[in-house]
Amino acid sequence: MRRILVTSALPYANGHIHIGHLVEYLQTDIWVRFQKLRGQRCVYICADDTHGTAIMIRARQEELGEEELIARMKRAHIDDFAGFDIEFDHYGSTNSQATREVCEEIWTALRKAGLIDEREVTQLYDAQAGTFLADRFVKGTCLKCNAPNQYGDSCDKCGAHYSPTDLIDPVSTLSNTKPEIRTADHLFVNIEKLHGFLDQWTQGEKHLQPEVANYLKGHFLCEPLRDWDVSRPAPYFGFEIPDSPGNYWYVWFDAPIGYIGSTVEWCQKHDERFDDWWRSPETEIHHFIGKDIIYFHTLFWPTMLKAAGFNLPEKVHIHGFLTVGGEKMSKSKGTFILASTFLDHLDPSYLRYYYASKLTARMDDIDLNFEEFVAKVNADMVGNIVNLASRTARFAGQTGLSAEYPDDGGLFAKAAADGQAIAEAYESGDFARAIRIIMAAGDRANQYVEQQAPWKLAKDPTKTDRLRDVCTVGLNLFRQLAVYLAPVLPRLARQTGELLGDPIVSWDQSQTPLLGIVVNKFEHMMRRVDPRQVEAMVAASAEPAEDDSPPESIPFDNDAPLLAEPLAETIGFDEFAKVDLRVARVLSAEDVPGAKKLLKLTLGLGGDNRLNVFAGIKGVYKPEELVGRLVICAANLTPRKMKFGTSDGMIVAAGGGGGEVYLLAPDHGAKPGQRVH
C-alpha cells in the first residue's frame, strides 16, 4: 500500500472560490478519491492562504480586523468546497501556530545552511497608508514611452520593465498620494547555491510534466537563479521573523509551508506521527497547482524542503487555466461564476463530470463551453450511464438478480479488463481518457439492453428467468461503471450502493458481479440539465463593470429629460443610414491650452485609421481616464475648422450638456472600426 500526501494550492483569503479555482480542487479531489478507492493510504491536505499586503488592505477597506476577515473567508471557502463534494482530510490556515512553528524550523535550517543574505532594498512607501507599496499598488507614467497610468513593474503599452521607483509621477493607488522612496533591509534566499540540485530535481525522475521541465530549463535554469526576497518590513500581516524583528515573512514564504502546518494539525487530530508523512522515504507528496505558480513550487519550494530535510515532492501536477466560451472569465459577461452561484442553479456532479471529461495530464488550458457542458451532462451521464440503471432497475425490482452470472457475450469481462487502462489513466491525471473508456463501455451496455429488449420479455410471463438474466447483466454493467466513475461522481456511487444494497468502497468491486440480491426501488439518480438553468446561472453572475449593473427591479424614471429636449421630427431609414457611427478607441487625449470646454482626442478606428476630434467634455472627463477606452463617434461628418484646429468628427454622448455628459460606450467585445447599425 502506498502512503500518499496530496495538496492543492492554498486559496487566498482575499476572495471567494469560483469555477476557475474548482478545476484544481476537483482535479485533486478526483485523484485522491481514486487513490482511496484503490486502497491506498492517501491524505488530502489544504488550507487558506491568509497573509500579505492584499489581506491587510482589504481588511482595512472592510473595516475588519485581519483575523475576522480571514475567519469569514475560511468558512465561505469550506462551504463552497463541501458543496462540490471536495473532501479534505484537513483544511487549515497559514495563520496558525503550527504553520508558524514550521516556518521557524525551515528558516533556522536555511540560516544554518548559509542560504540567507541580507540586503538593502529601495521601495516606494505610502506615508498616508503607512505601508510599503507592492508594484500593483503603484501607478505612474512609463519612463520609456510616457504612457500614463501604468503599474509599478512594467508598461503594458511599450512592454518596458522597470522598478516602481523609476516611474514618472508615481501615485499610490491606496491613498492617491505621491509615495516616497524609502529603503529597508530585506532578507533573501540564495537559491543559486542549490542550482545544481534544482537542475537535477526538475530534469530527472519525472517529478514534473515534460513541458514544465523544458520551460524551467529554458527559462530559469539556463542562467544564475536570482535571490528570492522573502521578507517584508512592517506593517505586514504575517509572521514576524524571530531573528529579524520588524521584518515579516513574505506571504509566498509561508504559503507552501501551510501544507506542512496543516499536516501537523491533521496528525495531532488523528494521532499520526508527523515524520511518517513529511520525513519518510515511504511517503509520496503530490502537489496540484496551476501554471501561474510554477516557479514557487518547482524552484523555491524544493529548495526550502531540501534545506530543511523534508520530503521532496514526488510529483507536482500542473494544470492550465479555465476559459469560458474560449475567453477569459468575465464579470460583465457573467462567466465569472462563483462556486456558490453554480450551486444555486446546478448540480455539482455536472461540473465534476465535465471537468473530468476535459482534464488531461498536460497543462493545457481547458475551456468551459456551455453548449458542450449541457450535451455532455445529458448525453453521457444521463443518457448513457444513468439510463442503464433507469431502463433495467424497474424490471429487476420484481425479480431481483440472478444467482449466477448469465452469458453476456463477454461484456462484463471486457469492461473488467478495461479497469486496468482506466486506472492508469486516472493515475496519470488523464481523466479525459478514463472517461472515454468508461463511456465506450456504457455504449456497449446500452447496445446489449437494446438487443435483449427486456421490455418485450416483461410482457411474456414465460420469460421471467430470461428477463432476470438480462437485468442482472444490465445492472452489473452499470454498477461496474459506477465504480469506475466513483472518484468523479461520489453521489452516483452512493446511490448505486443504495439501489443494490452494497456500498461502493473499492475499485475491486468492478471485477466481480453482484448476484442473487434484491434490487431496491429505483429513483432518479440525476436530472438532465435544462439550458435555461445555465442561462439563469450566467445571468445571476453577470455583473456589468462599473456601476451600471441592472437593478433588482425596474426603477421608475420621470419624464424631465424628454420635456427638456422633445423628440425630433420623424425621419426615414435612409436618412438615419447616412450617419456613419463607428466604434473608436481613444488613443490620446489632451488639454487644449486656451480652450474652456475642449479636449483634443485622437480616435483610432483600427490600423492606422485615425480621427482628430475636439470634444466639449473638458471638466467632465479627465484626459487620462479616456485614453484606451472605447467610444462611439460620428465618422463621416465634414471636417470642421475650429479655433484650435480641425475636428474630423464627433464623439457621441448623452446628457443635457453642462456638467451632464455621459459618453456612450459599446459593450465588451466591440472592436474599433465597427459600424453602429
Residues 480-509 that bind RNA (CB under 7 A): none
The answer to whether 347 contacts RNA (rule: CB under 7 A) is: no
Judge contact between 272 and 266, C-beta under 8 A.
yes
Among 180, 205, 211, 625, binds RNA (CB under 7 A): 211
The answer to whether 369 contacts RNA (rule: CB under 7 A) is: yes
Total residues contacting RNA by CB under 7 A comes to 78
The answer to whether 220 contacts RNA (rule: CB under 7 A) is: yes
Q: How far is the CB of 144 from RNA (least distance, A)?
A: 15
- List Cα–Cα distances, 444 to 406, 417, 438, in angstroms: 16, 14, 10
Q: How far is the CB of 274 from RNA (least distance, A)?
A: 27
Q: How far is the CB of 578 from RNA (least distance, A)?
A: 35
The answer to whether 387 contacts RNA (rule: CB under 7 A) is: yes
Judge contact between 56 and 236, C-beta under 8 A.
yes
Among 38, 291, 414, 466, binds RNA (CB under 7 A): 291
Q: How far is the CB of 669 from RNA (least distance, A)?
A: 14
Judge contact between 611 and 648, C-beta under 8 A.
yes
Rounded distance between C-alpha atoms, residue 320 and residue 301, angstroms: 20
Q: How far is the CB of 575 from RNA (least distance, A)?
A: 39
Q: How far is the CB of 223 from RNA (least distance, A)?
A: 5
Q: Which of residues 17-56 bind RNA (CB under 7 A)?
A: 52
Dihedral sign for Cα atoms in the order 34, 445, 443, 369: negative
Among 41, 193, 315, 362, binds RNA (CB under 7 A): 362
* C-beta of 372 vs 543, nearer to RNA: 372
**Where does this chain touch RNA (CB under 7 A) — which range of 81-89, 175-183, 206-214, 498-506?**
206-214
The answer to whether 279 contacts RNA (rule: CB under 7 A) is: no
The answer to whether 534 contacts RNA (rule: CB under 7 A) is: no
Identity of the residue numbered 120: E
**Where does this chain touch RNA (CB under 7 A) — which range of 176-184, 274-282, 336-344, 522-530?**
522-530
The answer to whether 364 contacts RNA (rule: CB under 7 A) is: yes
Q: Which of residues 643-662 bind RNA (CB under 7 A)?
A: none
The answer to whether 182 contacts RNA (rule: CB under 7 A) is: no
Judge contact between 38 and 58, C-beta under 8 A.
no
* C-beta of 217 vs 279, nearer to RNA: 217
Among 145, 181, 379, 413, binds RNA (CB under 7 A): 379
The answer to whether 287 contacts RNA (rule: CB under 7 A) is: no
Q: How far is the CB of 219 from RNA (least distance, A)?
A: 5
Task: Tell the burial category of 3 from Cβ atoms under 10 Å away from its Cβ (0-12, 13-18, 19+).
Answer: middle
Among 36, 391, 585, 618, binds RNA (CB under 7 A): 391
Paired sense of beta strands 630-634 and 650-651, if any: antiparallel
* C-beta of 423 vs 664, nearer to RNA: 423
Among 184, 382, 505, 634, binds RNA (CB under 7 A): 382
**Where does this chain touch RNA (CB under 7 A) — which range of 33-41, 138-146, 370-378, 567-575?**
370-378
Residue 298 in grid coordinates: 518547482
Judge contact between 403 and 515, C-beta under 8 A.
yes
* C-beta of 26 vs 251, nearer to RNA: 251
Q: How far is the CB of 422 from RNA (least distance, A)?
A: 14
Task: Tell the burial category of 166 from Cβ atoms under 10 Å away from its Cβ (0-12, 13-18, 19+).
Answer: middle
* C-beta of 201 vs 277, nearer to RNA: 201
Among 107, 249, 250, 310, binds RNA (CB under 7 A): 250
The answer to whether 121 contacts RNA (rule: CB under 7 A) is: yes
Residue 439 in grid coordinates: 463511456
Task: Tell the burial category of 310 from Cβ atoms under 10 Å away from its Cβ (0-12, 13-18, 19+).
Answer: buried
The contact mask relative to RNA for 417-456 (x = CB under 7 A, - = no) is: ---------------xx--x--xx--x--xx-xx--xxxx
R_g of the chain computed on alpha carbons: 31
Residues 6+ apart with CB under 8 A from 109: 307, 308, 309
- Ramachandran bin of 646, using left for φ above 0, alpha for ψ from -120 to 50, beta for the remaining angles: beta
Judge contact between 303 and 199, C-beta under 8 A.
no
The answer to whether 366 contacts RNA (rule: CB under 7 A) is: yes
The contact mask relative to RNA for 141-180 (x = CB under 7 A, - = no) is: ------------xx------x-------------------
Among 215, 310, 342, 507, binds RNA (CB under 7 A): 215
The answer to whether 303 contacts RNA (rule: CB under 7 A) is: no
> Which residue from 568, 576, 631, 566 is spatially nearest to 604, judged by alpha carbons?
631
Q: How far is the CB of 500 from RNA (least distance, A)?
A: 16
Among 193, 394, 414, 597, binds RNA (CB under 7 A): 394
Among 306, 463, 527, 597, binds RNA (CB under 7 A): 527
Rounded distance between C-alpha atoms, residue 631 and residue 583, angstroms: 6
CA angle 401–403–409, rounded 5-degree value? 80
Judge contact between 77 and 93, C-beta under 8 A.
no
Strands (E), 74-172: 90-93, 116-126, 131-132, 138-141, 150-151, 168-172
Q: How far is the CB of 198 from RNA (least distance, A)?
A: 10
The answer to whether 569 contacts RNA (rule: CB under 7 A) is: no
Rounded distance between C-alpha atoms, residue 91 and residue 104, angstroms: 21
* C-beta of 274 vs 321, nearer to RNA: 321
* C-beta of 36 vs 358, nearer to RNA: 358
Rounded distance between C-alpha atoms, residue 435 and residue 457, angstroms: 32
> Which residue from 97, 137, 98 is spatially nearest to 232, judged by alpha carbons?
137
**H or E element, residue 419:** helix 411-428
Paired sense of beta strands 660-663 and 653-657, if any: antiparallel
**Where does this chain touch RNA (CB under 7 A) — which range of 107-115, 385-393, 509-517, 545-553?**
385-393
Paired sense of beta strands 675-676 and 138-141, if any: unpaired
| b/e burial code for range 32-60 (CB count within 10 A of at least 16 → b) | bbbbbbbeeebbbbbbbbbbbbbbbbbbb
* C-beta of 68 vs 292, nearer to RNA: 292
* C-beta of 55 vs 635, nearer to RNA: 55
Q: Which of residues 304-323 bind RNA (CB under 7 A)?
A: 321
* C-beta of 477 vs 650, nearer to RNA: 477
Rounded distance between C-alpha atoms, residue 674 and residue 69, angstroms: 45
Among 30, 110, 134, 167, binds RNA (CB under 7 A): 134
Among 178, 328, 463, 610, binds RNA (CB under 7 A): 328
